[in-house]
């Protein structure tokens, strides 16, 4: 069975009603990026950071997987599909995809501030509050990879990309480091299907197939092509 490795970004979830994180003028939902998504912001005002992610978690309750998520699930009938996502939502999993790697963390989980290996599942819409502690007695924080932090699962993403017989890139501007480097690890000659209304920049010399559509329309086209 051949392997498809998918790199998905914010455009993948936008059609499910989840707004993209990065807005105009360097703001995320009205907040300066570094105040809600950095260790410095956490140290300065942890209550603000917690509430920022609590609001996003509540907004996810009514979000549903879209046709693009379901198209990737259908591909599992003929391929080994492994999804490396920059998204922190759980829509890939809710669509039924069985192999999902979250480069930037998972909003439906909390983790200890003293021991990163202590990770806890959250219920839909559940808040993390000041005073909520891990088993060691340390404050819980969102299980999110912030700016200025390393991306611990990046090496796993590289391995998944190296194993690909087909690559699909969907809903990402290819500007977020280091996720934008992952496609460079695909083997020469591997076809790369790029689904996005706006063509992201790619290195030349690749077997590129651009589908200038939204995630829902574009992934249905790719799934139909690959399953023919």
Is residue 69 part of the annotated active site? The answer reads no
What's the rounded Cα separation, in Å, for the pair 149 and 140?
17
Contact criterion met (CB below 8 Å) for 1 and 80: yes
Task: Look at residues 4, 103, 13, 9 and name the one whose alpha carbon lies nearest to residue 56.
Answer: 13
- Active-site entry in 92, 104, 143, 185: 104
DSSP letter, residue 29: T
Q: Dihedrals φ, ψ of 222, to 5°?
A: -65, -45
* Share of the chain residues as helix, strand and coil, in percent rounded to the nearest 5: 35, 25, 45
Sequence-distant contacts of 55-61: CB under 8 A, at least 24 apart:
55/29, 56/29, 56/107, 57/107, 57/108, 57/122, 57/124, 57/125, 57/126, 57/127, 58/125, 58/127, 59/17, 59/18, 60/18, 60/89, 60/90, 60/107, 60/108, 60/124, 60/125, 61/124, 61/125
Residues designated as active site: 104
């Amino acid at each position: 069975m051949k392997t498809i490795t998918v790199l998905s970004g914010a455009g993948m979830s936008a059609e499910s009603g989840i707004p993209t994180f990065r807005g105009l003028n360097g703001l995320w939902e009205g907040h300066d990026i570094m105040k809600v998504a950095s260790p410095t912001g956490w140290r300065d005002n942890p209550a603000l950071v917690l509430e920022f992610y609590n609001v996003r978690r509540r907004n996810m309750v009514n979000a549903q997987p879209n046709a693009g998520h379901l198209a990737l699930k259908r591909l599992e009938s003929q391929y080994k599909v492994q999804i490396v996502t920059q998204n922190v939502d759980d829509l890939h999993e809710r669509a039924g995809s069985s192999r999902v790697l979250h480069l930037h963390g998972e909003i439906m989980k909390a983790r200890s501030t003293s021991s990163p290996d202590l990770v806890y599942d959250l219920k839909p819409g559940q808040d993390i509050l000041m005073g909520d502690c891990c088993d060691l007695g340390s404050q819980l924080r969102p299980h999110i990879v912030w700016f200025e932090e390393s991306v611990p699962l990046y090496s796993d993403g590289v391995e998944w990309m190296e194993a690909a017989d087909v690559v699909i890139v969907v809903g990402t501007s290819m500007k977020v480091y280091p996720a934008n480097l992952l496609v460079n690890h695909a083997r020469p000659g591997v076809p790369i299907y790029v689904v996005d209304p706006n063509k992201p920049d790619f290195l030349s010399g690749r077997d590129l197939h651009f589908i200038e559509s939204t995630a829902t329309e574009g992934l249905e086209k790719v799934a139909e092509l690959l399953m023919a």
